[in-house]
Amino acid sequence: MLRTHTCGELNKTYKDQEVVLCGWVHKRRDHGKLIFIDIRDRYGITQVVFVPSVSKEAHTVAQQLGPEFVVRITGKVNVRPDKNANPDVATGDIELCATGLEILNPSEVPVFEIDDAAAQPSEELRLAYRYLDLRKQKVLNALRVRHQLCACIREFLNAQNFTEIETPVLTKSTPEGARDFLVPSRLSPGEFFALPQSPQLFKQILMVSGLDKYYQIVKCFRDEDLRADRQPEFTQLDMEMSFVEEEDVFSLTEGLFQKIFKEIKGIDLPIPFPRMTHAQAMAQYKTDKPDIRKNKEEFSFLWVVDFPLFKYNEEEKRWESEHHPFTSFRAEDAQFMETKEFDKIRSRSYDLVLNGNEIGSGSIRIHKQDVQKKIFDIIGFDEQEAERRFGFLLKAFRYGAPPHAGVAYGIDRLVTILLGLESIRDVIAFPKTQKGSCLLTEAPAHVDQKQLKELGIMVINKGGAS
């Protein structure tokens, strides 16, 4: 290792020890013959003093230092007098008296100051220079909390005998709802993969396969018109379980969130979470994701249940699935299938709402072929259309599909709420803009004609072909 310690761990117990620190020059202050710098890494900040009488060579090199230079400093830990201590930083009781300095890499003058207390640049500038923005403690903290959340999830679900399984990123397009991101196949000209909007079909197939309890923290993709706080790619905790009912999903979820909030926020969440039907929510709050907090500073979870199974598409004059076509429905509402009163059928779906934000959704799935066929008939999928879209899943269902259920929770949204931030872009390492572009890499971008030719693709502009 090039260093013996990080910039956030030295304290009085290291008095008179020789140490080596590596990091970035955060601040530089010249006080006569003395030069002070703050050296920073992801762990914290340490003050360093360069004294000519201690090391003239190090002092001379220190005169060249600018903001964000990458340096390696050797020195002795001195305890500061009480009047000079800085209680605002973990290393504020000490400073490092430098005996050696190596500039590992100089830096151009940053386009904005790497300091949470400084005036914030525009979001466009922050995203274009995201590698600088990520050096700020506030942004670093968001990523640390995100990591802590994911580690907590894995620890909890592993203890509950879940198996973490990856599902394909290149899969079949099954358009229903948002648009798919399409990926052309060079080896099969004129055919396309799709990036998954969720692992929905694969996780149900895993239940047919006998995996019983599955989860993954997975990237999902939706090519939709972006609203203020949406991303074309997002991360969710995806789960599926066999031989369970709603109460099993609720109980597992409540235990998981109880652990998350205890470990990350130090809060003891009361469980079980309250329940409310979709009809009650709409009648009382005029929304299906009500904020039921009495004191807006508290965290408040709510299960919303009994959503309609179908919604009517006035433009296309047909019924559609409110969630997806594999959602089961309440047995007592089966009579409305026969009378074609589809608006009266309640689904066995459920949403988890936190402070007025939907952070998760799931359902009991249909596992019987005859029931699934009825649903397809209602939403206008004949046998050929259903086979074309979902044939591989329907085929699997012919080989003994167990009763199963699932749920997915938005990781980006959850971290944003945990930290009290305004945008999910603040908790994603490399987010897209509201227009779906990456200012750092300048994606999406044009590609070479050679690549397009290999894929058999012609780009059509508004003015014609090119």
pLDDT in tens, 323-347: 889 999 999 999 999 999 999 999 9
User: Rounded distance, CA 183 to CA 185, Å?
Assistant: 7
- Assess whether pLDDT exceeds 80 at residue 114: yes
* Peptide bond between residue 444 and the one before it cis (omega within 30 degrees of 0): yes
Instruction: Decide if 372 contacts 326 (C-beta within 8 A).
Output: yes
User: Could you give the C-alpha distances from 78 to 54, 74, 91, 164, 263, in angstroms and in order?
Assistant: 13, 13, 11, 49, 35
Q: Which of 391, 364, 404, 390 is nearest to 209 (CA)?
A: 404
Q: Over the stretch 135-162, which tens digit does the pLDDT of each residue have?
A: 999 999 999 999 999 999 999 999 999 9
> 297 pLDDT exceeds 90?
no
CA distance 110 to 104: 17
Lowest mean pLDDT among 10-24, 220-234, 400-414: 220-234
Please, what is the average pLDDT of the chain? 94
Burial degree of 452 (CB within 10 A; 0-12, 13-18, 19+): middle
**Bridging pattern class, strands 213-221 and 163-164:** parallel
Which residue would you say has higher pLDDT here, 458 or 463? 458
> Burial letters for 423-434: b for 16+ Cβ neighbours within 10 Å, e otherwise?
ebbbbbeebbee
Secondary structure of 177-206 in HEC code, one letter for each residue: CEECEEEECCCCCCCEEEECCCCHHHHHHH
Across residues 73-90, what is the average pLDDT?
96
In this predicted structure, what is the pLDDT of residue 392?
86
What tens digit of pLDDT does each residue of 237-270 get? 999 999 999 999 999 999 999 999 999 999 999 9
The model's confidence at residue 463, banded by pLDDT at 50, 70 and 90, is low
pLDDT one-digit tens code per residue, 186-205: 999 999 999 999 999 999 99
Q: Is 163 helix (H, G, I), strand (E, B) or coil?
A: strand
Which are the contacts of 317, defined by CB distance < 8 A and separation ≥ 6?
none
Give the pLDDT score at 401: 95
Percent of the chain topping pLDDT 70: 98
Question: Is the model's pLDDT at 386 over the cut of 90?
Answer: no
In this structure, what is the dihedral angle of CA atoms 210, 212, 217, 223, given to the nearest 10 degrees? 60
State residue 175's pLDDT score: 66
Mean pLDDT across 63-67: 97
pLDDT-based confidence at residue 7 (cuts at 50, 70, 90): very high
| Pair 223, 178: CB distance under 8 Å | yes
pLDDT for the residue numbered 177: 66
Quote the tokens at residue 268. 């003891």
pLDDT of residue 464: 53
Q: What domains lie within the chain, and their CATH numbers?
A: 12-105 (2.40.50.140), 141-427 (3.30.930.10)
- Give pLDDT tens digits for 267-280: 999 999 999 999 99
Confidence at 228, pLDDT banded by 50, 70, 90: low
Give φ, ψ of 276 to 5 degrees. -150, 135
Digit-coded pLDDT (tens) for 349-374: 999 999 999 999 999 999 998 898 88
Q: What global pTM score does this model have?
A: 0.92
Residue (of 125, 148, 68, 169) closest to 427 by Cα position: 148
Query: Averaged over 227-239, what is the pLDDT?
Result: 90
Three-class secondary structure of residue 454 per DSSP:
helix
Answer with the residue of higher pLDDT: 229 or 153. Answer: 153
